[in-house]
Amino acid sequence: MVIEIAKPRPLWQILFSTHHTDVALLYLITSIVFFMLGGALALTIRTELLTPGTTMIGDADLFNRIFTVHGTTMLFLWILPFISGVGNYLIPILVKYKDMAYPRLNAVAYWMAVPGAALIWLGWSDTSWMAYPPYSTMRAAGPAADMWIFGLKILGLSSILGAINFIVTILKCKHPDLPMMKTSLLVWAILVTSMMTLAALPTFTAALIMLYTDRLGVSGFFDPARGGDPIAYQHLFWFTFHPEVYIFLLPAVGMAYELIPKFSRKPIFSYGSGVIAFLVLSIIGFASWAHHMLATGLTFTEKTVFMVGTLAAVPMSAMHVFNWMATMWGGRIKFAAPMKFVIGGIMLFFTSGAGGVVNTTLPLDFITHDTYWVVGHFHMMLMGTVSFIFMGFLYYMFPLITGRMYSERLANVHFWFAFIGTAVVFTAMHIVGLYGMPRRIWDYVPDPTIIALNQIASIGAYLIGIGMIAFLIVLIRDSIKGKPADMRDPFGIGEIYYDYRRREPHH
């Protein structure tokens, strides 16, 4: 066992290990800690917005810093490390290799994330997670904004190292008797996202350097007074971060493919269409970045091109959803916690997907852009779909990691509070956005409808908060004294669980 509490290993042995399960464990624990911290910031934001005027946070400056750190944390310190954690744990097992291809590089990639996280949390920047210039270059307070830039720089490098490691492990270290078309779709998901990371991230890496030299005053890439253009940054930024949306989403899709056939006790409806959807999306995902910039004054032709590029990505997601539903159709579904979270995630995926089509529809974008509609839309995806499937997958991996079983009852409490809360808070955000409430505001117009919708949203957020407390209790209590799991078949769905004996020896 990796953290078998009955036979504990000294902490330093895990910290300085290069074994894939140990690095994975560090990634997972780090990501969950930041998930909870980011969630606490989210609840602070929702409490402030409970009433117009000052509710909890004394001034707008602190509020601006809180939403910046919340966004940066959730994307780069929860979702990405969690993907690395699951990938590190399972990719070597799924491709039947003894470890990752470069174990030391793997540990280095993890340990780079630590100073990156520290810079973000100690700096407490107010640039928003997008850090658009000229605000971020000319007005944002240092050293917070500089620390944010360096933090993201380090996290980006860490992602690239991780991506290289995954690609080499999957393509070069896969067992010779295991053809690529027989591997789990989670392997495909990690492979595709790692390749997308390598293609997408360098642009943002360059943009960060330009941002920093602009801040130092030695260049004027984004300063119109010196011949630069602030919109250029947005192109560089979104060229990385629209594909990044799929980098967040596809591993969750892969995890859903891993869980749905097992818990439906049926084979996948169509493995081939899953692979095709992954591969096509990994290319089309690069053709839609400027849909985040439709209101910056693009020409009519540019807007049309990016609308078409965005709509073209929708059928791939629709194929995944069809595949899941057709797999579940007629199956003997076991509604354990992992399956509940996946089904909940798929239901919320419809909402965010339909909202995405509205956002890219040109005349409608001007109603939704930069309002709470958009906040509701991407949270429905990142919390409602990605984080839900992640949490479900964590329950699935729980026996593998701890050798113990989680409490299904408490996991059920977690699920229902989180599911209802998520549906309430982000639906209310969509609607309040249609009333014109801009995002990133500390105070809003005291209109009765807007106040009521904000209060409904805050209540939803508190429901999620209660669910998360249940989640924390399950994680801590049951990994210490949960019932020992039947390691061959912990969920009672047949002997298809991961081979836990492969984890020794550690090195």
Partner 1 sequence: MGSHVIYEWIYVGAVVSLLIWVGAEAWYGEKLLHEVPKDHITIKVTGQQWFWTFEHPDGKREVGTLHLQAGKVYKFEITGKDVIHAFNIPHFAIMIDAVPGRVNTIWVKIPEDAVGEYLIQCREYCGLLHYNMRANLIVEA
- Chain contacts with partner 1 (rule: CB under 8 A): 60-61, 64, 126, 128, 132-135, 138-140, 224-225, 228-231, 267, 269-270, 272-273, 295-297, 300, 303-304, 307-308, 311-312, 314-315, 318-319, 322-323, 326, 357, 360-364, 366-367, 369-371, 435-436, 438-445
How far is 10 from 132, CA to CA, in rounded Å?
Answer: 45
Between 15 and 364, whose beta carbon lies closer to partner 1? 364
Between 180 and 364, whose beta carbon lies closer to partner 1? 364
Minimum CB distance to partner 1, residue 272 (Å): 8
Token pair recorded at residue 306: 């990016």
The contacts of residue 192 (CB under 8 Å, 6+ apart) are 250, 278, 279, 281, 282
Q: Could you count the other beta carbons within 10 Å of the beta carbon of residue 11?
A: 9
Between 286 and 322, whose beta carbon lies closer to partner 1? 322
Task: Give the residue carrying structure tokens 């380090």.
Answer: 154
Minimum CB distance to partner 1, residue 77 (Å): 21
Minimum CB distance to partner 1, residue 362 (Å): 4
Between 361 and 455, whose beta carbon lies closer to partner 1? 361
Between 445 and 480, whose beta carbon lies closer to partner 1? 445
How far is 495 from 484, CA to CA, in rounded Å?
Answer: 17
Minimum CB distance to partner 1, residue 503 (Å): 34
Token pair recorded at residue 277: 């959807």
Minimum CB distance to partner 1, residue 204 (Å): 18
Q: Phi/psi at 438 (nearest 5 deg)?
A: -70, 155
Q: Phi/psi at 8 (nearest 5 deg)?
A: -70, 145
Q: Where are the alpha helices (DSSP H) in 18-143?
A: 20-48, 60-72, 80-94, 103-123
Between 219 and 361, whose beta carbon lies closer to partner 1? 361
Q: Could you count the other beta carbons within 10 Å of the beta carbon of residue 137?
A: 27
Minimum CB distance to partner 1, residue 304 (Å): 6
Q: Which residues pair with 371 in a beta bridge?
A: 438
Minimum CB distance to partner 1, residue 348 (Å): 19
- Asked if residue 422 lies in contact with residue 384, where contact means CB atoms within 8 angstroms, the answer is yes
Minimum CB distance to partner 1, residue 483 (Å): 37
Token pair recorded at residue 70: 């919340």
Between 141 and 168, whose beta carbon lies closer to partner 1? 141
Between 319 and 346, whose beta carbon lies closer to partner 1? 319
Q: Which residues pair with 404 in a beta bridge?
A: 484
The per-residue DSSP string of 432-464 comes to HHHTTPBSS-SS----HHHHHHHHHHHHHHHHH
How far is 485 from 356, CA to CA, in rounded Å?
Answer: 41
Token pair recorded at residue 463: 């429901």
- Asked if residue 47 lies in contact with residue 465, where contact means CB atoms within 8 angstroms, the answer is no
| Counts of helices then strands in the chain (DSSP H, E) | 16, 0
Between 23 and 277, whose beta carbon lies closer to partner 1? 277
Minimum CB distance to partner 1, residue 3 (Å): 40
